[in-house]
Structure 1
Amino acid sequence: MSPSPPALFQNAHDTNISGNPQFNTAGRDIVVNVHESRSSARAALPDLLRPVSDATHTRAGHVPRCDPGTRLEVIAQIRRWLDGHDNDKRAVVCWLNGPAGYGKSALAQTIAESYAAERRLLGSFFFLRGAGERSHISRLIPTLAHQISLTVPGAKPLIESALEDEPALLGSTVSLAHRLQRLIIDPIHLNTSRVSCSSEDVSSFVKKQVVVIDALDECDNKVEMADFIDVLLSASSGGTPLPFWILLTSRVEEHIRKKFDSSEARFLHRLELENFDARLDIKVYFQRGFGCIYDQNWRIMQSIPKPWPSFRDLTALLDKAGSSFAFATTLIQHVSGDRIPDKALQRLLASGVNGLDSLYEQVLSSASWTEDFCQILGTIMVLKNNESISFFSSLLSLHHQEVICELLEVQSIIKIPGDDNEPIMLYHTSLRDFLTTKSRSKQYFIDPPLQHLHLAIHCLKHLAEYPSKDFFEGDVAKYACFNWPRHLLLGFQEQELNVDETIMNSLVTLIKNLLTFQGKTWYNTLQTFDFYKKARMLNYVRDGRDLFQVSYCNYQMVITLITCIRHCRGQLLQRISLSNLNKLLISVK
């Protein structure tokens, strides 16, 4: 009797074979054929879409929403339209507009949360300048598509199928209109047609679904936002209308207004916040806010008679606030942050503060305006993303406590996180507009180009102080590695011709030091970036060189940047594929 063959994987352990394996024996050999199924090889949908989680109504952190008992008239009108009770039933797009600080984002958040609770919200996106991908329109449709895959039964496989059929669907070569159609409109249409219920139920299902997109004006690309509005209006007025209703909010900025005033917008529902009297709502907000301040400081406030503020003072505050909830919120935060709230309130009343700009001036007048404070505040204003206390302290060579202490005096307008690794944020983006517009901020003006030059210096200093290693590691070092040329270019692009020679000489010295002492580390780190990011970085250097040659005639800087390009080319020749080499060299010619 022949001996039995040895058992497969005898004495083996920790063995894992995925897919659908087939085992065949040929003598002493074992042949394993693994047939990977199409579905198992496919990346998960969230990995493909890469949704921006902090752009939705479920985001963490400071989230503005309407206080209970406020904005009831506006909310009622929005709901009347969304629920199909408005006279203009053909309009599936609503544009809610108003000036800065009128509470558009709070209304959008409140509506989104309300319809989510009723399971009638398809998705939401809240744009925010200076918040990374939240300001990029390229992330809008993928983020909405991901939410729809979770909220609409049966939509997920349809979205997956669309991405499988068109791998380039999320790329820049595909139009916004086509991406919207394939990832948003088609999955809802197709899913609805498969619902096995009466036509009346289907109609109810479709009509009551809602999409909320807030702060179109906070998108960093005005041209693409205008194109997106065109796409929406075209889709909403076509033969097959949008299978959902969409609420949009924004300021009345020119690139947005033009689109909503066009002939394509004939089926647009408009709501203008300036047509609503917010005085009673702000009064409710003031009474609740000041009541909390009084209760939290009862030991100090016990000698102050109620009601506080007095009727006269409250009337004066309402006159100053107008319809600006941003003013009301900032004022409450400023008073609550003072050790003696009533004195802070009386100072504000006596100062002649009237409107958001003058309130910003009042808050900023109490700041120290030390060199560190100016550097921190200026950096907050020009960084593309909201960064943490740890990031600021490392990049600006400050202790964590110094960053916190410098910002404490302006915490009514800038949110200081409780965790050093959480981002510092503006309570309202109008502060950035105020501080970077000289005619408004006057002595508090922050000059963005000059601030970019200071940031380039800080980036280069950070790299110079980095211990000798093969790679720059950590968020701050990688940021400095990639962004010093960007800050350099942005700084000199908009500067006048009388550039401070001290700044110029510092930059030349620091760049030379980088190439001399940390050049290899810099080049190695660049290789960890994707191809297009490397090309962008080299473009910054090239454009900076051209800028100096044309405008500034600073020979040392031109030579330094040319040297920088040559070094990069020499290193990249050894490391990138031949297929990409020509593209990269063309980009830095």
Structure 2
Amino acid sequence: MESSSSNARLRNAIGTTISGSAQVVNAHNVRVLHGSPAPPAGLAAWLTPVSNATHTRAGHVAQCDPGTRLDVITHIEQWLNGSDKRAAICWLSGPAGYGKSAVAQTITDRYAVKGRLLGCFFFLRGAGERSHISRLIPTLAHQISISVPAVKPLLENVLRDEPAILGPSASLAWQFQKLIIEPIHSTISTVIPSFRVFSLAKQKIFVIDGLDECSDKAEMAAFIDILLGALPGRNYLPFRILLTSRVEEHIRKRFLQAKCGFLFHLDLGNFDARSDIHVHFKREFACIFDENCQMMQEIPKPWPSPQDLTALLDKAGSSFAFATTLIQCVGGDLMPHKALQKLLASGINSLDPLYEQILSSASWTAGFCQILGTIMILEDNKSISFLSSLLSLPHEEVICELLQVQSVIKIPGDDDEPIMLYHTSLRDFLTIKSRSKQYFIDPPLRHLHLAIHCLKHLVECPSKNFFEGDVANYACLNWSHHTFFGFQEQGLNVDETIITSLVTLIENLLTFQGNTWCNTMLTFTHDNRRKIQSLQFSNGHPTLNMYKTLQESIVTKNLIKIFQQVIDFHEVSVYKQDIFTNLSQSSNRE
């Protein structure tokens, strides 16, 4: 039963518009207006898979060039086709830029064609749901329902009987057992005798790429424990899993605990990539030459010369990211042959100096800094149109500024397609001051500036029942997220003018657009609507933390006070929506 204080808050809450055939229901003496129960949803609507996390995703996708990485791929295929049922997991590790994602994509494509792919997930930092673990298992479960149709009714039964399994309180272990292990076990056991389970199951695989790209480090470590915990004893995994990642501490420690027989570990650092990068260079430079044949008609072939190609290979080492960035840098220049000679003469032989050289040619105007900084900290990859609207900049200015760094940032031909980094190591470089030096992008400061842009956008929106459009929805959900992350690191260094702007904008939002913000928040998924609440309790109470670090500032005290109002305001919204959801579920069951 809800507390009387919660009821009191709800009775005094700002009115909320809910579409549908309205009816008044009495719940714990609280009268709640809600719509008609929604019709039963399909499996995809239940699971809400992340479509751009699969091997068929659009945009820039790293793949192995034909005839390259044959040794690595052979080792993986031998493991997949091996008879040792204990080694159900392969961990492919390696430094940034060594081509782990390209190998994972190549294996995924190959085994999808063979009908042996159960599912896949490609994590990517700063790419919304692709950078979080919460959608991993539901996405894999949805793919299983397609690759193994007999699993679909089993999943539907689980979701019907245990709807909380997709809620925020559900553990990864429970989800993995009920949505992955049990449905596959049940399907296999009805087809063949138990003693032949593994001989069939070994033909099916999952591929999960970029464990280090997942922002939820503790949860990822727990997921690895879940996988490894399924190995000992009688109940072996009824499939094989290929995992890829850098050797980061929270990942390395978990795999270190695994008994050697249960895990097949491949280190890309142990494979010589020189010949593969040589093939890559020859193919890409040939394309650059053909595309610029008029400009380069006086340049003798082969280009680059054997001596220059050897020098490039020495610079690249085993880093495909370095090789690709170098090619983009040369190919994006109006005079590629001169750009190549400049790079050869520079002595650059690693990614950081190469990034420095590329960034040194940019203008670093206020607009450029604003655009680049925003791209680095946005919750998801966004389009030119999105940036233009959120930052109040003309489309052509966004494009013009980004063209300066097109060798490291993929600029789409369509203004509504997402802008992508060619490699996430660029974000690492720019957000670590010891590496980027004068090109450092201060994440906390950028978070605060982005919070201000989000709030400005919302305050300036026309007054309606709901905010409309991708930019407004993003701003509605994430302005508080960016504010908290800004304060988390900045402490006493926050400029008073920034705090004053935040206070004014939040007051205006609640005063003039409070109903609209509340209504729009109720339309988001349960996980998203909990974002403000989860931020409230991360690392202790942020209101208390801000008092401790910024207690000398009167303006900051005003901000802290108003943030508590926002948290209370949002708790009412979540409480109202939870009652609505419970009533709808009850009506559906009846």
TM range (shorter): 0.7 to 0.9
Taking the aligned partners of 2:567 and 2:103, their CA distance within structure 1 comes to 50
1:472 is matched with which residue: 467, 470, 479? 467
Q: The residue matched to 1:301 in structure 2 has which SS?
A: coil
Tell me if 1:370 matches 2:360: no
Listed as ranges, the matches of 1:335-350 within 5 Å are 335-350=330-345
Per the TM alignment, residue 129 of structure 1 is displaced from its structure 2 partner at its CA by: 0.9
Output the TM-score relative to the length of structure 1. 0.86
The answer on whether the counterparts of 1:545 and 1:558 sit within 8 Å (CA) in structure 2 is: no
CA contact (8 A) 2:121 2:140 kept: yes
Aligned equivalents of 1:369, 1:491: Cα separation in 2: 22
* 2:12 matched residue in structure 1: none
Tell me whether 1:426 sits opposite 2:425 in the alignment: no
- Higher CA-based Rg: 1
Q: 1:171 aligns with which of 167, 170, 179?
A: 167
Q: Distance in 2 between matches of 1:305 and 1:432?
A: 38
Instruction: Report the secondary structure of 2:294's partner residue.
Output: helix
Match of 1:25 in 2: none
Q: Is residue 219 from structure 1 mapped to residue 217 from structure 2 by the alignment?
A: no
2:527 and 2:184 mapped to 1: Cα distance? 34
Structure 2 match to 1:151? 147
> Within 2, Cα distance between the matches of 1:127 and 1:538?
25
Gap change, CA 1:287 and 1:513, over 3 Å in 2:
same
Report the alpha carbon displacement of residue 203 of structure 1 after superposing the two structures with TM.
4.8
String of CA shifts for 1:188-230, please: whole Å, max 9, x gaps.
Answer: 2221222268976x65422211111111111111111111111
- Deviation per CA, 1:102-161, whole angstroms, max 9, x where unpaired? 000000000011111111111111111111111121211111111111112422122222
CA distance in 2, matches of 1:535, 1:160: 26
Q: Distance in 1 between matches of 2:462 and 2:183?
A: 52
User: Do the aligned residues in 2 keep the contact of 1:541 with 1:561 (CA within 8 Å)?
Assistant: no
Confirm or deny that 1:126 pairs with 2:122.
yes
Separation in 2, partners of 1:255, 1:339: 44
Letter in 2 for 1:149: S
Q: Is the 8 A contact 2:533 2:571 kept in 1?
A: no
Deviates most, 222-231 or 170-179:
170-179
Q: Map of 1:26-425 to 2, 5 A cutoff?
A: 42-84=40-82, 90-195=86-191, 203-264=198-259, 266-425=261-420
**Identical columns (%):** 64
Q: Is the 8 A contact 1:460 1:510 kept in 2?
A: yes
Which residue is equivalent to 1:27? none
The match for 1:454 is 449
Aligned mates of 1:49, 1:570 — CA distance in 2:
29
Any conservation in 2 of the 1:98–1:274 contact (CA below 8 Å)?
Answer: yes
- CA deviations on 1:518-556 (whole Å, 9 max, x unpaired) are 455445544555677556436768955434322112212
User: Whole-Å Cα distance in 1 between the matches of residues 461 and 159 of structure 2?
Assistant: 43
Stretch deviating more after TM superposition (535-544 or 471-480) = 535-544
- Displacement, 1:241? 0.7
Aligned partners of 2:283, 2:462: CA distance in 1, in Å?
A: 53
Structure 1 position 477, deviation (Å):
2.0
**Structure with bigger RCO (C-alpha 8 Å, 6+ apart):** 2
Query: Judging changes above 3 Å, is the alpha-carbon distance between structure 1 residues 572 and 189 closer, same or farther for their aligned structure 2 residues?
Result: closer
d(CA) in 2 for partners of 1:302, 1:563: 66
Q: Per the alignment, in what secondary structure is the counterpart of residue 57 of structure 1? A: coil
Cα distance in 2 for partners of 1:223, 1:566 equals 30
Q: Contact 1:515–1:564 (CA<8 Å) still a contact in 2?
A: no
Paired AA for residue 79 in structure 1: E
Q: Is the 8 A contact 2:529 2:574 kept in 1?
A: no
Note the alpha carbon deviations across 1:498-530, whole angstroms, 9 max, x for none: 322232333333334444554554455445556
Question: Cα–Cα, structure 1 residues 546 and 308, in superposed 2: closer, same or farther, change >3 Å?
Answer: same
Secondary structure of 1:139's partner?
Answer: helix
Offset, 1:471: 3.8
Match of 1:549 among 541, 547, 550: 547
CA contact (8 A) 1:523 1:568 kept: no
Deviates more, 1:413-422 or 1:523-532: 523-532
Aligned counterpart, 2:437: 442
On the 8 A contact 2:502/2:559 being kept in 1, the answer is: no
- Partner AA of 1:175 in structure 2: S
State the AA in 1 paired with 2:121.
F
- Alignment RMSD, CA only? 2.7
Deviations 1:464-506 (A, max 9, x none): 3333445432221232233222222211220142322232333
1:3 matched residue in structure 2: none
Q: Which residue of 2 aligns with 1:501?
A: 496
> How many residues get paired?
539
- Read off the aligned partner of 2:471 and give its amino acid letter: V
Residue pair 1:57, 1:112 contacting (<8 A) in 2 also: yes
For structure 2, the 5+ residue unaligned runs are 1-37, 581-590
Question: Does structure 1 conserve the Cα–Cα contact (< 8 Å) formed by 2:125 and 2:214?
Answer: yes
Residue of structure 1 in register with 2:34 after alignment = none
> The residue matched to 1:368 in structure 2 has which SS?
coil
Instruction: Return the offset for 1:43.
Output: 2.9
| SS at structure 2 position matched to 1:213 | strand
> Deviations for 1:391-436, whole angstroms, at most 9, x for unmatched residues?
1001100011111111011111111111111111111111111100
The aligned amino acid for 2:72 is V
Structure 1 position 344, deviation (Å): 0.9
Q: Using the TM superposition, give the Cα deviation of residue 89 of structure 1 relative to its aligned residue in structure 2, in angstroms.
A: 5.2
